[in-house]
Amino acid sequence: MKRIGMLTSGGDCQALNAAMRGVVKSIYNSGQEVEIYGFLNGYRGLIYGDFKMLTSRDFSGILTIGGTILGSSRTPFKTIKDPDENGLDKVEAMKQNYYKLKLDCLVILGGNGTHKTANLLRQEGLNVITLPKTIDNDLYGTDMTFGFQSAVDLATSVIDCIHTTAASHGRVFVIEVMGHKVGYLTLNAGMAGGADIILIPEIPFDIDKIAKKVEQRLKDGNRFTIIAVAEGAISKEDAKLSKKEYQKKLNNKKYPSVSYEVADLIQQKTGQEVRVTVPGHMQRGGSPCPYDRVFASRLGAEAGKLILEDEYGFMVGYRNREIVKVPLEDVAGKLKMLDPDAAIIKEAKMLGISFGD
Ligand code: F6P
Q: Which atom of ligand 1 is nearest to the CA of 179?
A: 6
Range 324-329 average pLDDT: 98
Residue 16 confidence (pLDDT): 98
CA–CA separation, 3 and 110 (whole Å): 20
pLDDT at 61 over 90: yes
Residue 253 confidence (pLDDT): 84
180 CA to middle of ligand 1, Å? 6
pLDDT at 252 over 90: no
176 CA to middle of ligand 1, Å? 13
pLDDT tens digit sequence for 184-210: 999 999 999 999 999 999 999 999 999
Q: Is 186 in the pocket of ligand 1 (CB under 6 A)?
A: no
If DSSP codes are grouped into helix, strand and coil, which group holds residue 342?
A: coil
Range 111-134 average pLDDT: 98
CATH superfamily label, 152-284: Phosphofructokinase domain (3.40.50.460)
Q: Which atom of ligand 1 is nearest to the CA of 12?
A: 2
Q: Is 149 in the pocket of ligand 1 (CB under 6 A)?
A: no
CATH of domain 2-147+288-331: 3.40.50.450
Residue 124 confidence (pLDDT): 98
Q: Where in the chain is the domain with CATH 3.40.50.450?
A: 2-147+288-331
Q: Whose CA is nearest to atom 13 of ligand 1?
A: 11
Q: Where in the chain is the domain with CATH 3.40.50.460?
A: 152-284
The mean pLDDT value of the chain amounts to 97
CA–CA separation, 308 and 303 (whole Å): 9
Range 252-265 average pLDDT: 95
Marked catalytic residue, from 136, 153, 196, 292: 136
CA–CA separation, 307 and 287 (whole Å): 28
Can you say whether residue 141 is alpha, beta or left, with left for phi > 0 and alpha for psi between -120 and 50 degrees? left
Q: Which atom of ligand 1 is nearest to the CA of 231?
A: 8
Q: Is 134 in the pocket of ligand 1 (CB under 6 A)?
A: yes
Q: Is 136 in the pocket of ligand 1 (CB under 6 A)?
A: yes
Nearest to 14 by CA among 315, 284, 341: 284
CA–CA separation, 198 and 188 (whole Å): 10
Pairing mode of beta strands 172-177, 225-230: parallel
pLDDT at 38 over 90: yes
pLDDT tens digit sequence for 26-36: 999 999 999 99
pLDDT tens digit sequence for 209-243: 999 999 999 999 999 999 999 999 999 999 999 99
Residue 58 confidence (pLDDT): 98
pTM for this prediction = 0.97
Q: Which of 74, 77, 180, 188 gets mutated to test ligand 1 (max ligand atoms within 8 A of its CB)?
A: 180
Q: Is 276 in the pocket of ligand 1 (CB under 6 A)?
A: no
Q: Whose CA is nearest to atom 8 of ligand 1?
A: 180
- Distances in whole angstroms, Cα of residue 135 to Cα of each of 14, 15, 46, 211, 318: 8, 10, 24, 30, 15
Q: Is 284 in the pocket of ligand 1 (CB under 6 A)?
A: yes
Q: Is 133 in the pocket of ligand 1 (CB under 6 A)?
A: no
**264 belongs to the catalytic site:** no
Nearest to 50 by CA among 75, 77, 24: 75
CA–CA separation, 276 and 259 (whole Å): 7
Range 295-311 average pLDDT: 98
Q: Which atom of ligand 1 is nearest to the CA of 138?
A: 1
Per the CB < 8 A criterion, the answer to whether 115 and 328 are in contact is yes
Range 303-321 average pLDDT: 98
Q: Which of 68, 115, 135 gets mutated to test ligand 1 (max ligand atoms within 8 A of its CB)?
A: 135
Q: Whose CA is nearest to atom 15 of ligand 1?
A: 11
Q: Which atom of ligand 1 is nearest to the CA of 112?
A: 1
